Amino acid sequence: MPRVIYYFTGTGNSLDFATKLARVLDATMIPMTDDTVPQTTSDDCVGLIYPTYMYRPPRLVVRFISKLTAAKYLYVVAINGGEPGDVLERSAKILKQQGLEMNAGFKVALPDNYTPFGGPPEQDKQQEMFSAADVRVKEIAAVISGSAAHRDPKPGWFKTTIHPALWYSLGYWAIPTSDRNFWLNGNCVGCESCSKICPVRNIAIVDNRPQWNGHCEQCFACLQWCNKQAIELGKKTAGVARYRNPNIKRKQLIQRPRSSAR
């Protein structure tokens, strides 16, 4: 069965995990963008790997799923910062609306990139997470190789009802225009890297400076990958350490290549 992995990433965790899994499964990797046209057939093993945003798949992923038509075996790996909530249940529901079954769903914790809540975990904690994720690559590959049904457990009621309804729902729907809270702290040198890295081309360069245009995914790629740490969000990021996955290079995100893992 031909295997393909579609991935979305802001700071590289999902790409790192997708790369490792693709290597074991001998799968082709394709980035999810608004331009990606999935060409899967009912013979294919299709993987969707993406970060968890407010217990949900990112909005770009939801748009991508609406274009997906067929798979023989379909699995989701929801990368997260340790609080995935019911992202798998929500993903399965969105896939079902598209007539697709989520045959397997996995949650994998990697360092949190939500800088407004504080910087990434300490280095030793990060190492623990990477080691645990490497173990999960093998476990998940075994499930997929056997085309087995699987779903990581659902959390308790607070994480699936009150918490997402009262807090995260509001935030999720406000994501596209949340970019009005980005500002420059004076370190910007006009290198344009933030504009090139944005997965939805939401950043124009005007007078040598980035300008956000109100259709943001809040992936934080611009803020995290700026070498000058020139981008801030509201009052919450000044002086807070940035995060990017150590195994991923900026150019892998800028080029967004159609690539084979081999």
Distance CA 220, CA 249 (A): 15
The residue written with tokens 């800088």 in the block is 115
Among 40, 52, 193, 237, interactor with ligand FMN by CB under 6 A:
52
CA pair distance 260, 29, nearest whole angstrom: 6
Closest to ligand FMN by CB, 72 vs 215, is 215
Shortest distance (Å) from residue 41 CB to ligand SF4: 31
Maximum CA extent, the chain: 55
Q: Is 82 in the site for ligand FMN (CB under 6 A)?
A: yes
Residue 25: which of ligand FMN, ligand SF4, none does it interact with, CB under 5 to 8 A by kind? none
User: Where does this chain touch ligand SF4 (CB under 6 A) — which range of 43-51, 87-95, 202-210, 241-249?
Assistant: 202-210
84 interface partner picked from ligand SF4, ligand FMN, none, CB below 5 to 8 A per type: ligand FMN
DSSP single-letter state for residue 79: E
114 touches ligand FMN (CB under 6 A): yes
Residue 176 carries which side chain, given as an amino acid letter?
P
Minimum CB separation of residue 73 from ligand SF4 in Å reads 30
CA–CA distance, 99 with 97 (Å, rounded to integer): 5
Stretch of residues binding ligand FMN (CB under 6 A), selected from 31-39, 77-85, 203-211, 252-260: 77-85
Q: Alpha carbon of 14 to those of 7, 67, 137, 139, 222: distances in Å? A: 7, 21, 12, 17, 16
As a residue count, the chain comes to 262
In angstroms, give the least distance from the CB of 25 to ligand FMN. 19
Q: Is 252 in the site for ligand SF4 (CB under 6 A)?
A: no
Strand 73-80 and strand 104-109: pairing?
parallel
Alpha carbon dihedral 175, 69, 150, 126, in 10-degree steps, equals: -40
Per-residue mark of binding to ligand SF4, 162-181 (x: CB under 6 A): -----------------x--
CB-neighbour burial class of residue 88 (10 A; exposed 0-12, middle 13-18, buried 19+): buried
Name the one residue in this structure whose structure tokens are 């529901």: 93
188 is in the binding site of which of ligand FMN, ligand SF4, none (Cβ under 5 to 8 A by kind)? Answer: ligand SF4
Which residues of this chain interact with ligand FMN, rule CB under 6 A? Answer: 9-14, 51-55, 79-85, 110, 112-114, 218-220, 245
The contact set with ligand SF4 (CB under 6 A) reads: 10, 179, 188-194, 198-200, 202-203, 210, 212, 216-222, 226, 228, 230-231
